[in-house]
Amino acid sequence: MPRHAWLLAAALFAAACTSDEVAPERMPRFEPAATPPRVALVLGSGGPRGFAHIGVLKVLEEGGIRPDLIVGTSVGAMVGALYAAGYNARDLERMAYDINVMEFFEWQLLSGGLAKGTTVQSYVNQHVRDRPLEALPMRFAVAATRMRDRELVIFNRGDTGLAVRASSASPGQFEPVRIGSETYVDGDEASPVPIRAARQLGARVVIAVDVSAYLETTPPGAKPEWVVKDQRRARQVSAEAPQADVVLHPDIGYYAGHTEEYRRRVIAIAEEYTRREMPRIRAALAKAGAAPAQAGSARSPEGVASR
């Protein structure tokens, strides 16, 4: 059997074996925390552009900056789930270079249907060792959009993979995700960078990462629907940005890609950008009395290796 045919068959088999069933007690939900976090890191939406989050995390770790809370939406929720599970930034970087897009293939795509997102759910749960949100080593909150009223909903308890799947269910690409009696779509729809949510969760300092495109560098040939989406995101981020202490917005270029070269490039750009922004980040932490640990004290993963 030719190699490409074997890969396709393997992907079809994996998709067929994926189950999205979750026990009632593991349904994603929100419960107030006993104590508010000091420092929240908010990771925004952006599809493949989200690899840039890894470059930001690398620099924060090197500077000894460890958030008490990660708030993620869409791809930011996926990166945040892995980071909150104990992988450090170097682990995430290795995983980014090793990832195979066939892992996320679903058979109904061949007939023009929407993806269910069960492969995303499975991938996340495999890598967090099937731990629910409340059992992750770092406090983590996932943002999704409730279809009934288009309001942002936060999950901090329950099945991690299902919460991330709901947060990543981009309309037109993924089916809405049912959790209990409600259905949810991509958190990007209500809040591309959920800064307000981090404040509502009690964070003293909010560092937000926006990986969306810069409107002023939109190329002339960009698809009109992309331009409209970018403009909507920019308005939403601008509305919430004043509630953040620092908003990091690296310019990683307009077009996104799925190649390893693209991943390496955006991680490097975000890393260089964040290094330049470190004085501003440290000043915000110092002003709030949340000074970071000494440089070089970045955490180690809890027995979790890159794979």
Catalytic pick from 68, 91, 159, 186? 186
- How far is it, in rounded angstroms, from Cα 104 to Cα 121? 10
Count of alpha carbons within 13 angstroms of residue 203, beta-carbon side: 30
Distance separating alpha carbons of residues 189 and 187, to the nearest angstrom: 5
Q: How far apart are CA 222 and CA 234, in angstroms?
A: 16
For the record, the structure tokens of 24 come out as 């009632």
Does the annotation count 74 as an active-site position?
A: yes
Listed in sequence order, the residues at least 6 apart from 135 whose beta carbon sits closer than 8 Å to its beta carbon are: none
74, 167, 168, 191: the catalytic one is 74
CA dihedral 97, 126, 22, 177 (to 10 degrees): 0
Question: Cα torsion for 170, 175, 181, 185, to the nearest 10°?
Answer: 0
- The angle at the Cα of 208, spanning 61 to 76, to the nearest 5 degrees, equals 80
Distance (Å, rounded) from C-alpha 260 to C-alpha 107?
24
130 catalytic? Reply is no
CA angle 287, 291, 297 (to 5 degrees): 160
Lookup result for tokens 């991943």: 263
CA–CA distances in Å: residue 80 to residues 4, 69, 89, 131, 215 = 32, 10, 11, 14, 26
How many Å apart are CA 42 and CA 28, to the nearest integer? 19
Give catalytic residues, as residue numbers: 74, 186
